[in-house]
């Protein structure tokens, strides 16, 4: 008997993700991904193209907005994403104060930092570069006042030998 329907092409090549086994079993890990790749690995949790915005960071940003706090995201730290409260009232906290009080500058030395400010137009937020002077302090023109829900992303600055020589020559 003919139904007039054609058979579907094999989905073997198209089936990139299957439900994870943890979905079907009780007691699965709280933060486990509900999907797994065909090779059995979990997909990456970073939101592609969103400047290191992980799923964990996204939830921490929402938490920070609700609690009058900011998110400090330090690459390769024991606790890479932290929610830190802002002081109550009208007292302002600046990026330089955050970096000094948390000990990030002391621990990492030379760093690169970016502030992401919440925006309805962008999941990752508006990117605001933080510049540093030669002595490692935050440049006053980019020492932004922090607001609830801000995310400060920090990573250790890597310089090549040539960059170090050029910087040394420019300082003379």
Which stretches does DSSP call E strand in 26-95?
35-37, 69-74, 81-85
User: What pLDDT does residue 37 have?
Assistant: 53
Nearest alpha-carbon partner for 144 in 95, 85, 73, 87: 95
User: What pLDDT does residue 22 have?
Assistant: 47
Cα–Cα distance, 48 to 50 (Å, whole number): 6
pLDDT per residue as tens, the chain (172 positions): 555 554 544 444 444 444 444 444 444 444 444 555 555 655 444 443 445 677 888 888 899 999 999 999 998 878 889 999 999 887 889 999 999 999 988 888 888 999 999 988 888 889 999 999 878 889 999 999 999 999 999 998 876 777 767 767 776 6
Cα–Cα distance, 80 to 60 (Å, whole number): 11
- Full set of structural domains in the chain with CATH: 55-156 (3.10.20)
User: What pLDDT does residue 108 have?
Assistant: 86
Residues 74, 80 contacting (CB under 8 angstroms): yes
Judge residue 156's burial from the number of C-beta atoms within 10 Å of its C-beta, 0-12 exposed, 13-18 middle, 19 or more buried: middle
Nearest alpha-carbon partner for 128 in 94, 161, 80, 85: 94
Residues 141, 92 contacting (CB under 8 angstroms): no
Q: Residue 119 pairs with which residues in a beta bridge? A: 122
User: What pLDDT does residue 2 have?
Assistant: 56
Cα–Cα distance, 19 to 79 (Å, whole number): 29
């Amino acid at each position: 008997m003919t139904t007039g329907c054609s058979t579907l092409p094999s989905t073997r090549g198209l089936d990139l993700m299957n439900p994870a086994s943890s979905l079907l079993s009780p007691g699965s890990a709280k933060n486990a991904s509900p999907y797994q790749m065909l090779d059995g690995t979990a997909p990456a949790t970073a939101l592609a193209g969103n400047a290191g915005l992980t799923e964990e960071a996204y939830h921490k940003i929402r938490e920070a907005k609700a609690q009058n706090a900011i998110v400090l995201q330090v690459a390769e730290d024991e606790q890479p994403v932290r929610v830190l409260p802002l002081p109550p009232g009208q007292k302002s906290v600046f990026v330089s104060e955050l970096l000094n009080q948390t000990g990030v500058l002391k621990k990492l030395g030379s760093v690169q930092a970016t502030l992401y400010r919440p925006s309805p137009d962008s999941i990752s937020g508006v990117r605001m570069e933080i510049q540093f002077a030669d002595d490692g302090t935050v440049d006053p023109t980019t020492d932004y006042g922090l607001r609830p829900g801000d995310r400060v992303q920090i990573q250790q600055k890597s310089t090549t030998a040539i960059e170090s020589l050029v910087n040394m020559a420019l300082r003379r």
